[in-house]
Amino acid sequence: MSRVVSAFLCQWSHGLETGADRDRLIWPLVPLTLNKRASEDDRRAFMCVDWIVRTWLPAWLEACGDRYAAHVAALRSAPEIGSSQGLIDVKPIIADAQDDVQDAAWKLWAAEHDAAKSAVLDVARAAAWDAARVASMAASMAAEMDVAGDVAVDAVGVAAINETSPVVQRLQQSAAELVRRMCELKAG
């Protein structure tokens, strides 16, 4: 069985709040994973990294408002990441986004101490910190395939911040599609 697909599904499952969510999202994908050889796991790991960099991270940045529009556009238009070199090439875009997100996260943290705590501020701060964490991890993982795969599956759990969020729902659909594509890979 593919270690990458298995780890991705396992991490995603752990990030879901209820058994009903797991039944709805994960179980329909399990039959697709049967008899998938690990021989294509390097490609699958890069598919996960590509999804994190060009889909997951831009979705969260976009949810934080227009201030990250340039980063969202740059990340989404980056060439598909299929190798370590592809990740190295996109690293400056990730680093720029990381700097802006960390700056915004610190400003939100300071605002939290100056103003009354609110649910909106909590959600915005959590999204900013999570985006900063993923951007930081993605920016530092260029050489090691195992690290790249681990970062990709670790980030899936973070996406379960609020199961009713439109961002989360879109990312869950996108993650399911990613699993399908990973399972369709043929040796070659």
Domain boundaries, the chain: 3-184
Average pLDDT, the chain: 73
pLDDT of residue 114: 54
Is 7 or 133 the better-scoring residue by pLDDT? Answer: 7
Residue 116, pLDDT > 50, answer no
**Average pLDDT in the 133-156 region?**
41
Residue 177, pLDDT > 90, answer yes
Relative orientation angle of helices 41-51 and 3-15, to the nearest 10 degrees: 40
Residue 159, pLDDT > 50, answer no
Sequence-ordered list of residues with C-beta below 8 angstroms from that of 11, at least 6 positions apart, any chain:
153, 154, 156, 157
Q: How confident is the model at residue 123 (pLDDT cuts 50, 70, 90)?
A: very low
What is the torsional sign of CA 12, 168, 60, 127? negative
Q: How confident is the model at residue 63 (pLDDT cuts 50, 70, 90)?
A: confident
> Looking at the whole model, is its pTM more than 0.75?
no
**Average pLDDT in the 34-62 region?**
86
Residue 127, pLDDT > 50, answer no
